[in-house]
Amino acid sequence: MTTMQTSPVVKGDGPQLNKRHRSFRPNTKHVPILATLGLLVAMYVSGLANYPRFDNPMVVVNLFRDNAVLLVVAVGMTFVILTGGIDLSVGAVISLTTVLTATLLKADWPPLVVLPAVLVLGALIGAGQGAVIHYFKVEPFIATLAGLFLARGLALFINEDSIPIRNDMWRELSDFRIPLADGVSTKPIAIVALLTLLIAAVVLAWTRFGRNVYAIGGNADSALLMGLPVGRTKIAVYTLSGFCAALGGVLFSINSTSGWAGQGNGIELDAIAACVIGGVLLTGGSGFVWGTLLGVLVTGLIRTLINFQGDLNVAWSQIIVGVLLFSFIVMQRLVTRKAR
């Protein structure tokens, strides 16, 4: 009777071959950010092909400068969304920060006292919202909506009119230019925004706090069972978002040398859109601040292309961002469904 023998080599090669094939599959969480990068490159190449002066380095420099405030706010929003939350109060915190900064400087408060005071105030507003969300189990949408009304109301209570800032330090910072190359310079607010982005990327990638943020966004109940500080991390994330919003307000006041209760109106929606377009999953647990940067650049480049075109209504920027937002939300759903 003949017995069939199975070759150990063939048997062993099967899993190795499968493993080898699996290693070449792109990680699904990278698909949205790669799509955003491809879109950004395509848009920039289109600008180069259609507009003669689009290759000027100042176009890219201005892209970072003009969107510095949005980038700082979106970085804080990234942490919040990664935990599965949302922060609707950031625009109102910006308005409160600018009004309070202008009012205190007008009253001859020292700038080195005003600056930390408004940053701490923004962080405290964020921490209060985080505490309400965690301890009272209030939905982030409702808690931060209440924070929005509170901060906006305080700003209007302080002053409803635009307040010019005539402080020497603020004006010097507004007028100061950092040379980057021959004939190319930028404002300090762009450097601050990039430093904020870099610090956030390091925190998310290399610290225990960053790992906790991802774990809570993936599954908060499992993270709690693993002994992770879920409550403390959630409060810290909203504190960080409030701090970034206040920092954005300071940058706003430096750039415009004024404070007004209407400043920052709607920027929370722009920040959320930038995060989603940059591949940050709305349900939490997946995304990168580098993707948020790409999302901010995409939205900024849309406005730049419309300005170069000249004959298009500025409303087209909102329409295009809306279409992109819908597209990336659908992409997120498809990618997460395939991953399961």
What percentage of the chain carries pLDDT values higher than 70?
90
**Predicted local confidence at residue 288, as pLDDT:** 94
Angle at 305 between CA 304 and CA 309, to 5 degrees: 120
Looking up tokens 């809570």 gives 216
* pLDDT digit string, tens, across residues 161-170: 999 999 999 9
Report the interhelical angle of 315-339 vs 31-50 (nearest 10°): 150
> CB atoms < 10 A from the CB of 162, how many?
15
What fold characterizes domain 29-339?
ABC transporter involved in vitamin B12 uptake, BtuC (1.10.3470)
> CB atoms < 10 A from the CB of 178, how many?
12
> Mind spelling out the 3-state secondary structure of the chain?
CCCCCCCHHHHHHHHHHHHHHHHCCCCHHHHHHHHHHHHHHHHHHHHHHHCHHHHCHHHHHHHHHHCHHHHHHHHHHHHHHHCCCCCCCHHHHHHHHHHHHHHHHHCCCCHHHHHHHHHHHHHHHHHHHHHHHHHCCCCHHHHHHHHHHHHHHHHHHHCCCCEECCCHHHHHHHHCCEEEECCEEECHHHHHHHHHHHHHHHHHHHCHHHHHHHHHHHCHHHHHHCCCCHHHHHHHHHHHHHHHHHHHHHHHHHHHCEECCCCCCCHHHHHHHHHHHCCCCCCCCCCCHHHHHHHHHHHHHHHHHHHHHCCCCCHHHHHHHHHHHHHHHHHHHHHHHHHC
**Which of 322, 264, 272, 270 is closest to 81 using CA atoms?**
272
User: What is the chain's mean pLDDT, rounded?
Assistant: 89
Residue 15 has pLDDT above 80, yes or no: no
Residue 82 has pLDDT above 80, yes or no: yes
- For the segment 19-29, the average pLDDT, to the nearest whole number, is 51
The encoded tokens of residue 204 equal: 């998310």
**Predicted local confidence at residue 276, as pLDDT:** 94
Q: Regarding predicted confidence, which is higher, 327 or 149?
A: 149
Distance CA 272, CA 249 (A): 17
**Predicted local confidence at residue 88, as pLDDT:** 97
CA 14 to chain centre: 44
Classify the C-alpha dihedral 273-274-275-279 as positive or negative: positive
- For the segment 58-75, the average pLDDT, to the nearest whole number, is 96
Q: Model pTM?
A: 0.90
Distance CA 142, CA 327 (A): 26
- For the segment 294-314, the average pLDDT, to the nearest whole number, is 89
